[in-house]
Amino acid sequence: PRQSRRRKSVAIAYEPGQGEGAEPRRARWEPRDWREQLERIREMRRSRDAPVDEMGVQTCYDSSAPPQVRRYQVLLALMLSSQTKDQVTSAAMQRLRRHGLSVDSVLQMEDETLGHIIYPVGFWRNKVKYIKQTTAILKQKYGGDIPSTVEELVQLPGVGPKMAHLAMHIAWDSVAGIAVDTHVHRISNRLKWVKKETKTPEETRVALEEWLPRDLWKEINWLLVGFGQQTCLPVHPRCSQCLNQDICPAARR
């Protein structure tokens, strides 16, 4: 008997958001001119002569120390750096290192001695308390090392999100997110690198991570901090010296 020829039906697999009746996929939002702005900021930062380059946290630890000690020194430098100029943080770290900066040496140090060494960093009295509390936790819970996740780092007394992300970058060479300080926060809003104005550095971090390619997350803090120290100042920004003055929404032309 003659077999009837049936056309085989072919199943068509659609990607999510595609296919008949599906809504067209929306293009990811990104700021206008951001790539050109970023390239020009790189050009302005080429000389690497801002305070963050010469005295930033990445320069404050003893590179010859054992890895665990280096990571502890990175975290301490970050804790000292809050509300403090890089020059002051660097000097305080040099004084601490002359005392043999380690978990055990700090635990054995009197609070008054520690305060005398780190003065005049911003809020030095609070930082003495936080450093002692955090160091004790590191000794008891982490065997003298620092945590290797942002979630654990921000649980330590005196450690905020920016410090945690920088600790991941510098101490662990791991990129878990963007480190946003006042410079990154300010410049991101001036350049309109956020969909709408953000009120806090943490809001800015979330907004940037939504669109900025992940391979730029580590670089962006270093770039914008130095740019903010030298050109895009908090008060009286040097717009006339900025290569972005013709494409910056906040430029004073």
Amino acid letter at 24? P
Active-site residue, from 162, 192, 195, 199:
162
For 111, what's the count of Cα atoms within 13 Å in the CB-facing half-sphere? 10
Take residue 132 and report the two structure tokens written for it: 């002692």
DSSP state of 240: G
Which are the contacts of 57, defined by CB distance < 8 A and separation ≥ 6? Answer: 74, 77, 78, 81, 89, 166, 170
Rounded-to-integer distance, Cα 36 and Cα 8, Å: 53
* Residue whose pair of structure tokens reads 């320069």 in the numeric block: 59
Sign of the Cα pseudo-torsion (148, 149, 152, 156, in order): positive
Rounded-to-integer distance, Cα 175 and Cα 194, Å: 21
Q: Residue 162 catalytic?
A: yes
Rounded-to-integer distance, Cα 59 and Cα 74, Å: 9
Say what angle helices 161-172 and 201-209 make with each other, to 10 degrees: 60
3-state SS, residue 125: helix
Rounded-to-integer distance, Cα 207 and Cα 196, Å: 9
Rounded-to-integer distance, Cα 147 and Cα 167, Å: 9
Residues with catalytic roles: 162
